[in-house]
Chain A
């Protein structure tokens, strides 16, 4: 619809919209996060919902304890290998459309704990992540920023066509493999269909040419 005509009509008290706009508007303004805290970042997540930062202004204050009622999973904190199967299972239990915010350095890459033998080096090895917020832990403002980014992302989603999101495309999977506890590590160590280790240029021979100080 012509934008000019739309504004002209709205001046006369007639509001026009498309189904897509209405649909996305409804979803952006009522994201229900899963009440799911893992570590330090969870405290900042709670702080975000409290009086000073008041996440309710963004329509997202309804934290649901059950994954069946939630749209958004905020992976707030270090995902350990012992916890990773549960995180994936919770994600699988959430109904579509569902989104994931990877909050903090640990959930993105293992963060300060990435040398640990029991620390998963990023939750994106098992489930697709929509928004990453760096920080250790990210401030509540950063989490609010992530919310607004997510709202923008939802707003731009198309109902039809090639670029339609996963939940409108029956061919795309909505559940992902749950890793099993192995004798030394999780099995598999990653979901190869969504994550592969990035290729990094490393000289095979020669001494430490970089960074030895």
Chain B
């Protein structure tokens, strides 16, 4: 089946038996629901326990980020990017800085690139740990895995706080570099944290990977085919779990990722279990990258001295910059008309686009599986609705 027919077939789905319409139960999950990861709503039509239709409803956290950014200077939008995907502020900063650097043709000094890689990969670690924690929580493993995840997250947030001054809203990157250099002793502390991380991963893995309940709940649940994943624009760990070999760190050669040896884990089934495993494996690769980056980080300036902070006006034009965020392809598209504010500022939200296929994954499954499938997509509403 070609991708076009695949897409069309899954869109116009009639309930299985038309005569039994009165037997169907229509429920609204959300916007206040403990498992929807924020204010997300799904209008679900059920035949008994089986899902026959699922329509997501968005916009409960539509904070008009793009409109506000049009009335804000380029740098003025940087703190707003923190609040997009509020689990990973630093990668959001990075994607935005990258887009502006493309737009204005700014070079980033060596040390700043290393700082970006280090903070970006730390962000990926804490995002993936928490995602797995939340996924387990959704599955009913109330408390413990999430506690473990947050324990680890707090350690990484301590590093962020020491470096940027804020736990969550870091506002760290600048066009052409980073805001502040590493404080004394930070690198040693970070090395310790990263060195301790594999031990945590071992522990996590031994608890979860071969857990029978987890395998029962996740294997062959929410299977996403490779073709549909590509056609629907699915990116990040979710696409790689379906076997799509596409990692923007490898494809775009942005920043200095070419210098590090790391592998891109791929899944073969595309089910929830694969998505869970991909994230575990990606964390191991992130630890690898971090160790190399922290070993090689050079001395030098952290910001391009030629970039203007005040009165920054890129020439008219446009640019699309993207990075491999923890959730997928995070891109920023900027149109400049030569004024201090962007004429158009667009965020390509991986969370929203990864939700395109939610209905396809859930059809025919039980209600309890919706929660698990949604958990494995890894969404953050701040980014979905912007």
Q: Is the CB of B60 within 8 A of A82?
A: yes
With a CB–CB cut-off of 8 A, which chain B residues contact A77?
61
Chain A residues 18 to 69 lying within 8 A of chain B, measured CB to CB, are 35-40, 42-44, 46-47, 50-52, 65, 67
User: Count of A residues near B, CB < 8 Å?
Assistant: 33
- B94 at interface (Cβ–Cβ under 8 A)? no
With a CB–CB cut-off of 8 A, which chain A residues contact B31?
83, 86
Query: Which of A8-16, A113-121, A163-171, A183-191 lies at the interface with chain B?
Result: A113-121
Query: Which of B43-51, B143-151, B222-230, B309-317 lies at the interface with chain A?
Result: B143-151
Encoded as 1 (CB less than 8 Å from any A CB) or 0, chain B from 48 to 71 comes to 000000000001111111011001
Query: Which of B80-88, B113-121, B259-267 lies at the interface with chain A?
Result: B80-88
Q: Is the CB of A52 within 8 A of B151?
A: yes
Q: Is the CB of B64 within 8 A of A117?
A: yes
For A42, the closest partner residue in chain B by CB is B38
Q: Is the CB of A50 within 8 A of B86?
A: no
Interface residue from A43, A112, A117 paired with B80 (Cβ < 8 Å): A112
Identify which of B38, B39, B80 gathers the most chain A CB atoms within 10 Å of its CB: B39
- A139 at interface (Cβ–Cβ under 8 A)? yes
With a CB–CB cut-off of 8 A, which chain B residues contact A38?
38-39, 61
Q: Is the CB of A80 within 8 A of B71?
A: no
Q: Is the CB of A136 within 8 A of B68?
A: no
Chain B interface size range: 20 to 34
Interface residue from B39, B151, B168 paired with A83 (Cβ < 8 Å): B39
Q: Is the CB of A119 within 8 A of B147?
A: no
Q: How far is the CA of A35 from the CA of B60 in the complex (A)?
A: 17
Chain A residues 122 to 181 lying within 8 A of chain B, measured CB to CB, are 136-137, 139
- A102 at interface (Cβ–Cβ under 8 A)? no
The 20 listed contacts between A and B (C-beta, < 8 Å) are A35-B34, A40-B83, A40-B168, A40-B382, A43-B168, A44-B167, A50-B147, A50-B150, A51-B150, A51-B151, A82-B60, A82-B62, A83-B31, A113-B63, A113-B65, A113-B68, A115-B67, A118-B59, A118-B62, A119-B64
8 shortest A-B CB distances, which residue pairs? A116-B64, A50-B150, A40-B86, A65-B34, A113-B63, A83-B60, A118-B62, A52-B154
